[in-house]
Chain A
Amino acid sequence: MKRGIAITGLGCLCGAGMNLAECLASMFRNQRNPRPPVRFSTDHPVSYPVLELPDEFQLPLDDQERVYARTSQLALAAALEALADAGWDEEKLRGKRVGVCIGTTVGCALNCDDFYRDFKSTDTEPEMGPIERFLRSNPAAVIARQLKLDGPNQTVVNACSSGTDAIGIAASWLRAGACDLVIAGGADELARVTYAGFSSLMITDTEPCKPFDLKRKGLNLGEGAGLMILESAAVRGGKKARGYLLGYGSACDAYHLTAPRPDGAGLKQALAEAFATAEVTPNQIAFVNAHGTGTPDNDRVESRVLAEVLPGVPFLSTKGYTGHTLGAAGGIEAVFTLACLQRGEIPANIGFTAADPELGGIPVSKNTRIDGSVALSESLAFGGNNAVLILGKGDD
């Protein structure tokens, strides 16, 4: 097994909690609160539950930081939590080459439907505020700007695998010596446009989602951010690691714009690359944080691949707790994977009650102790992207 790249800080906020500790607490209590969206409304005949950050939530940002679009605010909040966790602040970062690599979907889309509605109307000149906000809100650029960072900067827009890919890319920058440390992960806000989009694809459930369950009907959307700090050995010194990034793999199905390849070939290729780069074999994996959106297609394809490549390895989806947070998902789930490795326990795959004989296996249905120091987190995206991270337990 390779030593891997040290991860020294974690930050996370989503429908499950406003920081990592809160998220873990609610997940291990097997709690979730999907409900109709509060911040926007549509005229759909039915409503689809979502995992929105609670209304009363106040992001720990100052006025200067609130000028950004919501996705960038979420990214900033998680970045600050992760940096504090790793013992960094703006002062200590001065003079270092700091990379920022963030995955997102909504965060880069010019989805300003209020602006556009006014643009289309014949009696209103639209306010340009939403466009100005969009132009100053590229998530990776915002983090670099707010913290006055100098270094490589990238916003990955690979749909639902963005967060996973961003972490894999961040690691490659460190290996290349392009920077001393990287803030990496994913962020995405819940938006009316994506709500309309996913419901038009008929892959959203009108009830709380049921990943890998016989009666699953689709996903619940969510929002949030999950970020981590990856450090080179030179700057880390003797600091304890919260975990290690051992390997990364990715591959494209090259099959369909929205449906996964039925034979899972792309996912298998991504898994193979991740195992090879981590120098780890499937039987060393303690558990898998699956993509598990709760859609009929994803869960069928993914569970069959897991049964073939990682037979007998416990797996779960945390999307019952967080919803599908799109570009943030890979980041949030990598953070959860490391936290669970440290804790030695994974939460139940909430929403699962009955097995589907068409699937390759069943997820863990209750909180489960795990042994072992290596775990895997995977994401499958629109466009057929598959991305896999292999993560190692941190220092005691």
Chain B
Amino acid sequence: MDIKEKLKQVLIEELNLEDLTPEEIGDDDALFGEGLGLDSLDAVELVVVVQKHFGVEIKDMEEGRPALQSISTLAAFIEGKLQG
């Protein structure tokens, strides 16, 4: 499964977004604010999700903020870290 697909699945599971399916999350939809409507607590939970499911660390929110914009940006961040 590619990173974006896996991200959408674990997002729905771990953040309990049970009314959503992966197909309904656009790769470039904003995760916070107007898009998916996630908030600050979801942001730190996502940091854990990324660590747990991909083994990639987000050190702080300075690093995290740009990465957590959308599924695309997060997938790119993860790929970048995995490639070292």
Contact = CB atoms under 8 A, between A and B. Distances in A.
A67 interface: no
Task: State the majority secondary structure of interface residues on B.
Answer: helix
A202 B68 CA distance: 15
B48 A259 contact: no
B34 to A, nearest CB: 17
Interface string B55-73: 0010011000000000000
Contact of A45 (B44, B47, B57, B61): B57
Interface string A254-295: 001111000000000000000000000000000000000000
B47 A257 contact: no
A77 to B, nearest CB: 35
A201 interface: yes
A227 to B, nearest CB: 33
A202 B57 contact: no
Nearest to A257: B41
A117 to B, nearest CB: 19
A82 B48 CA distance: 43
A201 B47 CA distance: 10
A200 B40 contact: no
Contacts of A202: 44, 47, 60-61
B39 interface: yes
Nearest to B47: A202
Interface string A172-216: 000000000000000000000000000011100000000000000
A192 B68 CA distance: 28
Nearest to B60: A202
A202 B39 CA distance: 14
Contacts of B41: 201, 256-259
Size bracket, chain A contacts = under 10
Nearest to A199: B44
Contacts of A200: 44, 48
B46 to A, nearest CB: 11
| Most chain A CB within a 10 A radius of its CB, from B40, B47, B61 | B40
Contacts of A258: 40-41
B40 A259 contact: yes
A201 B44 CA distance: 6
Contacts of A259: 39-41
A78 B56 CA distance: 45
A258 B57 CA distance: 22
A217 B61 CA distance: 10
Interface string B36-55: 00011100100110000000
A259 B44 CA distance: 12
A259 B60 CA distance: 17
Interface string A25-53: 00000000000000000000100000000
Interface in A292-324: none
A256 B48 contact: no
Contacts of A257: 41
A251 to B, nearest CB: 21
Contacts of B39: 256, 259
A202 B45 CA distance: 10
A118 B61 CA distance: 35
Nearest to B57: A45
A49 to B, nearest CB: 16
A201 to B, nearest CB: 5
19 contacts: A45-B57, A200-B44, A200-B48, A201-B41, A201-B44, A202-B44, A202-B47, A202-B60, A202-B61, A217-B60, A256-B39, A256-B40, A256-B41, A257-B41, A258-B40, A258-B41, A259-B39, A259-B40, A259-B41
Interface of A: 45, 200-202, 217, 256-259
Given A257-B41, A259-B39, 12 more contacts: A45-B57, A200-B44, A201-B41, A201-B44, A202-B44, A202-B47, A202-B60, A217-B60, A256-B39, A256-B41, A258-B41, A259-B40
List 9 tightest A-B contacts by C-beta distance, closest first. A202-B44, A259-B40, A201-B44, A258-B41, A257-B41, A202-B61, A200-B48, A202-B60, A200-B44
